[in-house]
Structure 1
Amino acid sequence: MDVAVSNAMESPARDWSDELRATLALAWPLILANLTMQLIQATDVVLLGWLGPKELAAAALALSLSFGMILFAFGVLTGTSPMMASALGSRFNSVRDVRRTFRQGLWAAAMMSIPTLIVLWNAERVILFFGQDSELARLAGWFLRGYMWVIPPWMLFQVMRNFLSALERPGWVLVISTLGIPLNAIVSWSLIFGHLGMPKLGLIGGGVGSSIVWAAMALALALVILTDRQFRRFHLFGRFWRPDWPRFRQLFKLGGPIGLTMGLEGGIFSAAAYLMGIFGAPSVAAHQIALQIAATAFMVPLALGQATTVRVGLAYGRQDRKGIGLAGWTSFGLSTAFMTFTAVVMFTFPHQLITLFLADTPENATVIALGVSFLRIAALFQIVDGWQVVGAGMLRGLHDTRVPMVFALFGYWAIGLGVGVGLAFVMEWRGVGIWTGLAAGLGVVAVLMLWRWSRRDRLGLLPAGA
Structure 2
Amino acid sequence: MKESVTKREKIIYFSSILFPILVTQLGLFSMNFFDTTMSGRVHRDDLAGVAIGSSLWVPVYTGLSGILLSITPIVAQLIGARKNKDVPYMVIQGLYVSIVISLFIVLIGVFTLNPILTNMGLEENVIRIAKGYLIALSFGIIPLFIYSVLRCFIDALGYTRVTMFITLTSLPINFLLNYIFIFGKFGVPQLGGIGAGVASSLTYWCIALITILITIKQQPFREYKIFHTFFSISFKAWGEILKIGVPIGLSIFFETSIFAAVTLLMSQYNTVTIASHQAAINFASFLYMIPLSISMALTIVVGHEVGAKRINEAKQYSYLGIGMAVVLSTLSAALIYFFRPEVASIYTSDSAVLRLTQDFLIYAIFFQLSDAIAAPIQGALRGYKDVNVTFVMALVSYWVIGLPVGYLLASYTPLDAFGYWIGLISGLAAGAVGLSSRLAIIQKRKEKEFALYLNT
TM range (shorter): over 0.9
CA distance in 2, matches of 1:156, 1:165: 14
Match for residue 367 of structure 1? Answer: 353
Q: Deviations over 1:240-281 (max 9, x none)?
A: 362122111000000100000000001101001101111122
CA distance in 1, matches of 2:156, 2:20: 13
Residues 195-234 of structure 1: pairs in structure 2 closer than 5 A: 195-234=185-224
CA distance in 2, matches of 1:157, 1:216: 10
Residues 54-93 of structure 1: pairs in structure 2 closer than 5 A: 54-91=45-82, 93=83
Q: Deviations over 1:368-420 (max 9, x none)?
A: 22211111111112011121111100111111000000000000111110111
> How far did 1:184 drift?
1.0
Match for residue 409 of structure 1? Answer: 395
CA contact (8 A) 1:398 1:462 kept: no
Match for residue 107 of structure 2? Answer: 118
Which letter does structure 2 place at the counterpart of 1:331?
A: G
Match for residue 440 of structure 1? Answer: 426
CA contact (8 A) 2:311 2:446 kept: no
**Kindly tell me: are residues 135 and 316 of structure 1, through their superposed partners in 2, closer, same or farther at Cα, counting changes over 3 Å?**
same
CA contact (8 A) 1:82 1:396 kept: yes
Which one is further off, 114-123 or 156-165? 114-123
CA distance in 2, matches of 1:252, 1:136: 37
Gaps of at least 5 residues in structure 1 are: 1-8
Match for residue 154 of structure 1? Answer: 144
CA contact (8 A) 1:261 1:409 kept: yes
Match for residue 393 of structure 1? Answer: 379
CA contact (8 A) 1:420 1:435 kept: yes
Residues 54-453 of structure 1: pairs in structure 2 closer than 5 A: 54-91=45-82, 93-94=83-84, 96-121=85-110, 122-240=112-230, 242-359=232-349, 364-453=350-439
TM-score (norm 2): 0.95
CA distance in 2, matches of 1:253, 1:414: 24
Match for residue 22 of structure 1? Answer: 13
Q: Deviations over 1:114-173 (max 9, x none)?
A: 121233345232222344444422321122121222321211111111111110001121
Which letter does structure 2 place at the counterpart of 1:441?
A: G
Pairwise CA RMSD: 1.6
Please state whether the residue corresponding to 2:129 is helix, strand or coil. Answer: helix
Gaps of at least 5 residues in structure 2 are: none
Match for residue 5 of structure 1? Answer: none
CA distance in 2, matches of 1:258, 1:187: 32
TM-score (norm 1): 0.93
> How far did 1:440 drift?
0.9
CA distance in 2, matches of 1:394, 1:170: 17
CA distance in 2, matches of 1:394, 1:64: 27
> How far did 1:463 drift?
4.8
**Kindly tell me: are residues 124 and 134 of structure 1, through their superposed partners in 2, closer, same or farther at Cα, counting changes over 3 Å?**
farther
Which letter does structure 2 place at the counterpart of 1:111?
A: V
Please state whether the residue corresponding to 2:224 is helix, strand or coil. Answer: coil
> How far did 1:205 drift?
1.4
CA contact (8 A) 1:312 1:394 kept: yes
**Kindly tell me: are residues 124 and 59 of structure 1, through their superposed partners in 2, closer, same or farther at Cα, counting changes over 3 Å?**
farther
> How far did 1:461 drift?
8.0
Which one is further off, 30-39 or 134-143? 134-143
